[in-house]
Amino acid sequence: MAPTKPAAGGAPKRQRVAPALGPIERKIQAARLVQAKPSLGAAYSHALARWEADPVLRLLGLPVITECYRSVARQDELYAQGRTKPGAIVTYKRGGESKHNWLPCPALDVAFLLPDGEVSWSGLLLSKFARLMKAADARVHWGGDWPTFKDRPHFEL
């Protein structure tokens, strides 16, 4: 969105518009959501609905599923990152060892679409969303609660 010109003698007007997905992104989200185990999908949908109904939270960002099911080959690629390939370590699970490799999938990863169009993995936003996920279904575990390798975008049953 183009910045609005400052009004004479005042600060630039800032529009507070909740971020929203276009039709293609909505289809992608729906396709990821159907990969999830029904109870995890239901918890996510419930948490998302509560987020979107909150007048403050909805302006901070929109939760999006970045990944649900992941092939064994893709898991192996991620495992190589930070070991035999450049980048930071993002997983301790090899192909076949992650809950992301199951279908229907008992795990999903979340990020936020910000009002400026950027994608964020803010720990603060994720912890707020985690509260809604756990309230929706007490069987949901949040990776941010794990004592060692904190995986804040990660939710699983």
Give the footprint of Zn ion on this chain (CB under 5 A): 109, 154
Closest distance to Zn ion from the beta carbon of 91 (Å): 8
CA neighbours closer than 13 Å in the CB half-sphere of residue 142: 22
Amino acid at 50: R
The answer for residues whose C-beta is within 8 angstroms of residue 73's C-beta and 6 or more apart is: 95
**What is the rounded CA–CA span in Å between residue 151 and residue 66?**
14
The least distance separating Zn ion from the CB of residue 22, rounded to whole angstroms, comes to: 25
Residue nearest to Zn ion (CB): 154
- Which residues, in sequence order, are CB contacts of 26 under 8 Å at separation 6+? none
Of 54 and 145, the one with the shorter C-beta distance to Zn ion is: 145
Nearer to Zn ion among residue 48 and residue 110 (C-beta)? 110
Q: Which residue, 50 or 74, has its beta carbon nearer to Zn ion?
A: 74
Indicate the residue among 18 and 72 with the shorter CB distance to Zn ion: 72
Helix axis angle for 23-33 and 38-53, nearest 10°, is: 140
Smallest distance, Zn ion to C-beta of residue 68, A? 9
Give the nearest distance from C-beta 109 to Zn ion in angstroms.
Answer: 4
Pair of tokens at residue 28: 């992608």
